[in-house]
Structure 1
Amino acid sequence: MLGPQMIQDMVDQVHVMQEKMRTAQDRQKSYADLRKSDIEFAVEDKVLLKVSLINYVSEPTHVLEVKMIELDDALTYVETPKEMLDNKVRKTRHGKTVLVKVLWSNHQVEEATWEAVEAM
């Protein structure tokens, strides 16, 4: 049979383990909170980015085209559908939904999205 002293020792060890687990969880939460916080920049802030080009091999296909996007006074723009590329019917429990693949203005073909016909 287990003596009362042995049971008390086990209870004490359980309390120590629970305290260590609480400490680890608190550290994890504080780290997650730091990672979640939004970074905000003002217009006059200077942001430096470190770019490593040690193993980069230049290729002409890596050159990006610069497209000018017209912004309004609030520095926003309205995305408009430019072309319907494809369509398909998705069957659901409640019926069928017709989807179209939309090429949006100011985007490449690779960035086209599937949208419901009712939303277009």
Structure 2
Amino acid sequence: MFCSKCRLGKVGPVAYKLDLPEELDGVHDTFHVSNLKKCLADLTLQVPLDEIQVDAKLNFMEELVEILEREFKKLKWSRIAIVMVR
């Protein structure tokens, strides 16, 4: 049974099944309760599905728009680049 507000159904003591939209039919729809977070609906934070790009393994792909800042942290034997991107 799915709740109408969050489209979530309980399938076991610690597992929930999400009723995902058709665009996400390649995404596994059953999750352990520890992987779910309470959703406070804020429409300004929603990302339209047509703006989300995933590869064949369903990894999220991001596009680099601009490098805003770059610095290097020096450790004892190495340096780590820290880059702020938009």
With the length of structure 1 as denominator, give the TM-score of the two structures: 0.29
Determine which structure has more spread, i.e. the larger CA radius of gyration. Answer: 1
Structure of higher RCO (CA pairs closer than 8 Å, 6+ residues apart)? 2
Query: Structure 1 or 2: larger helix share?
Result: 1
Which structure carries more strand by proportion?
A: 2
